[in-house]
Each structure stands twice: as C-alpha cells, then as structure tokens.
Chain A
Amino acid sequence: MSDPGHIDQRNGRLSQARDWTLVHYATLKRQVERLALAREPSPEGIDLARLDALDTAGAVLLMELVGAGPLAAIDDWAPELPATRRALLRTLGEAMADNQPPVVRPVRPLRDGLARTGQLVEGLWQQQRQLLGFIGQVLVTLAATAWRPARWRLTSMVAQVHQTGLNALPIVALLTFLVGVVVAFLGATVLRDFGATIYTVHLVAFAFLREFGVLLAAILLAGRTASAFTAQLGAMKANEELDAVRTLGLDPVELLVLPRVLAMMLALPILTFVGMLSGILGGALVCLLALDISLTQFLAILQRDIPLDHFLVGLAKAPPFAFLVAVIGCLEGFKVSGSAQSVGEHTTSSVVQSIFVVILLDAVAALFFMEMGW
C-alpha cells in the first residue's frame, strides 16, 4: 500500500526517501538509530527532496537525525520542501527546542522500601487521627442540629433508610438463615457424641442473639452501604459538588453525613432483629427436620432457658457498629481526590476498615460483657 521510508547514503549525503509515517516507524527507527550513533545531529548533508509522505511520527524521527534547533530553522536549509511540510517540521522543532525531558528518579529498592513502610505507618496513624476528628465533627454537628427540628433532613434520611435498610432486608435475612442452618448442623454433629443434641437449641439461640445477628448484619452493611457512601460522596467530591455545597454556605456534614449516619443507626438495629429471627428460624428448621425437635419444643426451650439479656446485649451493639460503619464510609468519600482510581482505592479502604472495626469492637465487647457477667 505504501513504501516504507528509508535512508539512502550516497557520497556522504543522506537522502530520506518514500513514506516517513507511523506505520513504518519500527523500520525507520532502526535506520535512524544506526546513523545517530555515527554522527552528531545536524542538518549537514541531509536531503529531503525525495520524501513522499510525512506525518508527526516521521517528523519526530527526522528530528532525531537533525536536532530540534536546526529543525526549527528548516526554512534555511531545506527551502525545496513544500511550505505546509516545513510548517509542521518548524512547529515541532520549536516545540521541542526548549523542551527538557522529564527527570525520572532512579529506583533504590532498600531505601524506597523503608520509606514506603514509614509512609504506611504514618498514614495509618493519620487515618486514625482523621477518623477520631471526623467522629467528633459529626457528634458536634449532631448536637447542634438536634435542638432545631427545622434543620433535620427527614426526607433525605427516609430515603437513606429505604436504601440501606429496607433494600438490604432480603439479603440479610437469607444470609443469617443459611448461617443459622450451618451452626445448627455443626452443633448437632458435635453434641450427638454426648447425647446432648437438645442443646443445639441453646447454641443457635445464644449465637444469634448475642453475636451473629448483629455481626452478620453489620458486616453486610459494611460491604453494601459503606462502599456506597464512599462512592457517592467520592463522586461528589471529584465533581466539586462538595466544594459547591461549602461555597453555598451549607455544611456537608450536616447535609450529607448526618442523614446517612442516622439512617444507618436506625436501619442496623432493625436488620439485626431480622437477622436474629431468621438465624434462629434456620436453626429451628434443622432441629425439626434432622433432630426431631418439634417447633413447640424448640420455642418452649427458648422461653424457659434463654433470658432476654442476650437479646439486649446483641441489640445494644447495633447502634455503635452502625455509627462507625457509616462514619468510615462517609470519611473515605471525603478523602477521594478527583481521579477514578482514587474512588476505587477509598471504596476498598472503607469496606476493609469498617469490617475490621466491627469485628474488633465485637471482640472487645464480648470480653467486656463476659467480665461483667451479662
């Protein structure tokens, strides 16, 4: 279709011929490199009269032979070229003449690795400080708006309850139901050896009332809602919407964070309750089908042996979990810095952090409740 360009060498003159275009870049580059080794870049003895096609890639290659400065002065040494072509070469020469290549820092593995570790530790410390600061800010804003019902964002909050609570209900119910089934089977297998399968009822009830109901619901919300909060607020940050909110004299924490945090604190206890019920239901189903414990018997044991305290201990953990998950999600959203990659990084970070915090806090709470004898 087109002839690859080449360089003829005849009695000391270099003659560029045929097509100097991007398609033939590899061939031309080899020739240019070979010649560039042998001579200083200069227009000396270069003849462009036989050039057929030339595009920007070809022009760049010519520049490597000629040098940027001389290319800018092409009118002086190659007036036989068409004016349009000279204009391109001149423009490129002028642009590249005072263009320094960027300085790339060399990689030093040991030093860089050490520096990176330091950065990560410092980052972790800053992150905790920021989180504490943000929690304080949210609480202050909450206290400031609590007395003024006119500033409550009810519509926004109801919409958030719908999204974080109602829409999450089926998945929370299904998941806890399945875990209830698994726990009951586990218990039945171990307890059968002792002839104590009846205690499967206690196991399922204890596990779901105290721990699993709230923990599973909180982890699901961390994955489902904290990430959504980060992505929503992060996209708003990237689009300068948060800045717009501020310049309008509004408080983004009051406008965007509070409704989300409050909605989550309302939704998680409800989801926890549903999680407890459906986990126990899963356990009851296994008892009925695999262990021949009838539903009546199951309920009678629940009523007789499981005090209400366990339910309250489990439920009491829901609001603080919800608060932390929502606050982490929102804070990570505020930290997004404009690029799509940053939205992704902070969404990941928000899910990891909120699940970590939920499990850590649950472990601490378990210790505390045990020591208190609750």
Chain B
Amino acid sequence: MNATREPLIRIRGLTNRFGEHRVHEDLDLDLYPGEILGVVGGSGTGKSVLLRSIVGLKRPSTGGIEVFGQDLRRLPAPARSRVERRFGVLFQRGALFTSLTVQENVALPLIEHLGLPRPDAETLARAKLALAGLPGKAAIQYPAELSGGMIKRAALARALALDPEVLFLDEPTAGLDPIAAAAFDRLILTLRDALGLSVFLVTHDLDTLHTACDRVAVLSRGRVLVADRLDVVAATDDDWIQAYFHGPRGRAARRAAHPVEEP
C-alpha cells in the first residue's frame, strides 16, 4: 500500500563521512504520511546523524534529502524556516532552554512564529505539557529542577508546540520508567491517529517498536538493511537482526505485545 503514496521525506543515495569514517553509504529511506517509522540499529550506526541530516542540522557529504518534495538545502532562508516549522524535534537529552521555564520553553515557538499574545501562548503551552503528562506545577519550574523523565515530556510538549506534521523523536523512551514509556507510546499513537502525524522514531526500545511502529527500518553498515513491517523485518536473515529481535529482550517484548501468538 505504501508504494502508491507519495513519501513525505525521500532520502536517496545519502552518504555521510566524518573524515575517513563513513557513517552512511548510499542510504535510501522514505517516510510516508501518517506512519510511525521506527529506526533501529546498533550503537554508532548513525541513527542520530540520519535524523540530524533530515532536519537540516548536518550537511550530508553527498546525496539528496527531499522533504515535502523540496530540498531543504536549496531553499532560501524564509522558505526553509517555513518548512522547518512543520517539523517537531525531540532531542535525545531534551535540549530545553535552561534559562526559560518549562512553560516558556513551549510557548517560545508560539510567540515567535505565530505572534500569539503571551497569556494565550502560555495557556496552550500548559495544555500541551499536561498532554505530555507533566503535572501543572512543573510548568513554572526551570529545566534544571526537573528529573530526566520530566525533561523528556517537556521536550515532547515543545516538539508538539506548533502542531507539526512530522515528529522526529530521538530515543524518546530512554530514561523513562516502563509505565511512563508505555504512556508515551500510547500518546504518540493517539496523536498520530487524531492529527495524522508522521513520526520518525529513533529508538532502542523493543516495546515501542512492537506497540507503536507501523514500519521498522534497520540501519547497518551505513545502509538501510530492511524497512518494512515488524514481522517482515524480524524474519530477515541477518545476524544482527536475529540477535536483536529474537534475543531474550526481543522475545519478551513480542510476548507482551502479542500475548496469544506464542505458546
């Protein structure tokens, strides 16, 4: 069914080098509208670099990345800013602005891009923080006063501030307790269903892959080894994939997601 749709993000022949070290080598990947794409791979296979390349933080050595049918790097600055506004990015360590309260962090893009009056922006910000699972009194705290899990949620609220069309999440459930991580997966699904979001999800969390992702892309040796539904990916004949999905943790996650399938 994917073949008939136009991808939102089309990566073709992407190569990224750091000096002699090649992170990506002729990598192809698509993100379709309304899907949650999980990106997995061993440490150092360039998952985060891929994310940074797509959102335009890292200039690829060669290759093209089309976002909404446009090449970000060729756009003039104002047009590029308009495209970037349709992205929401959750960084691995939150990247909240430490000099602003949590609520101001979320309100900042609303005030800057939409010119909302400050009280309106802060009302919206508080609602998004609540949606992301933060208690009301956390809204006026500074990031330094929050725990790691709360920083993740506040960062998600900021990523959702402009109601983006594409959400980039870099290991969103790392550092969350299992209950919070499950709530996070549910929230992503709810948002995707209601708003038609597309989600580019870099993760190590097997539970997230099972419950939330429509497709899974496996990065290995600089390329996308396979990108397909989870059961197809899990059945792929590759040592790393077999070890990843059929190791003890992989089996446990699958049992939790599909309790009837396995004896």
Contact = CB atoms under 8 A, between A and B. Distances in A.
A166 interface: no
Contacts of A25: 114, 116, 120, 124
A340 to B, nearest CB: 5
B33 interface: no
B143 A339 contact: yes
Contacts of B138: 102
Most chain-A CB neighbours within 10 Å: which of B126, B140, B194?
B194
B98 A22 contact: no
Given A25-B120, A99-B135, A85 B194 contact: yes
A100 B136 contact: yes
Most chain-A CB neighbours within 10 Å: which of B130, B187, B190?
B130
A102 B140 contact: yes
Contact of A21 (B120, B163, B191): B163
Contacts of A59: 127
B143 A95 contact: no
Interface residues of A, number: 33
A63 interface: yes
Interface in B120-161: 120, 123-124, 126-128, 130-131, 133, 135-140, 142-144, 160
A95 B139 CA distance: 14
A84 interface: yes
A60 B124 contact: yes
A359 interface: no
The secondary-structure label for the interface of chain A is: helix
Given A92-B130, A339-B144, A340-B98, A84 B136 contact: no
Contacts of B127: 56, 59-60, 63, 92, 95-96
Interface string A46-57: 000000001111
A338 B151 CA distance: 14
B131 A341 contact: no
A87 B189 CA distance: 10
B43 interface: no
Most chain-B CB neighbours within 10 Å: which of A23, A92, A102, A340?
A102
A341 B193 contact: no
B4 interface: no
B49 interface: no
B227 interface: no
Interface residues on B, range: 20 to 34
A282 to B, nearest CB: 44
B176 interface: no
Contact of B163 (A26, A57, A337): A57
A78 interface: no
Interface in B98-128: 98-99, 103, 110, 114, 116, 120, 123-124, 126-128
B163 A338 contact: no
A266 interface: no
A29 interface: yes
B79 interface: no
A324 to B, nearest CB: 30
B117 to A, nearest CB: 8
Contacts of A339: 98-99, 142-144
Contacts of B191: 56, 88
B162 interface: yes
A45 B142 CA distance: 41
A88 B191 CA distance: 7
A18 to B, nearest CB: 16
Interface in A24-49: 25-26, 29
A95 B137 contact: no
Nearest to A86: B194
Interface string A70-105: 000000000000001101100110011001111110
A338 B124 CA distance: 28
Contact of A338 (B98, B120, B135, B162): B98
B194 A341 contact: no
A108 to B, nearest CB: 18
A56 B114 contact: no
Given A26-B116, A56-B160, A88-B195, A104 B187 contact: no
A85 B138 CA distance: 27
Nearest to A87: B190
Contact of B124 (A21, A57, A103): A57
Contacts of B190: 84, 87-88, 91
Contacts of B99: 339-341
A55 B195 contact: yes
A191 to B, nearest CB: 54
Nearest to B133: A95
Given A25-B114, A54-B194, A338-B144, A92 B163 contact: no
A102 B195 contact: no
Given A25-B114, A84-B190, A341-B98, 19 more contacts: A54-B194, A55-B163, A56-B131, A57-B163, A84-B193, A85-B194, A87-B193, A88-B190, A88-B193, A95-B127, A99-B130, A100-B136, A100-B137, A101-B139, A102-B140, A104-B140, A339-B99, A339-B142, A341-B99
Interface of B: 98-99, 103, 110, 114, 116, 120, 123-124, 126-128, 130-131, 133, 135-140, 142-144, 160, 162-163, 187, 190-191, 193-195
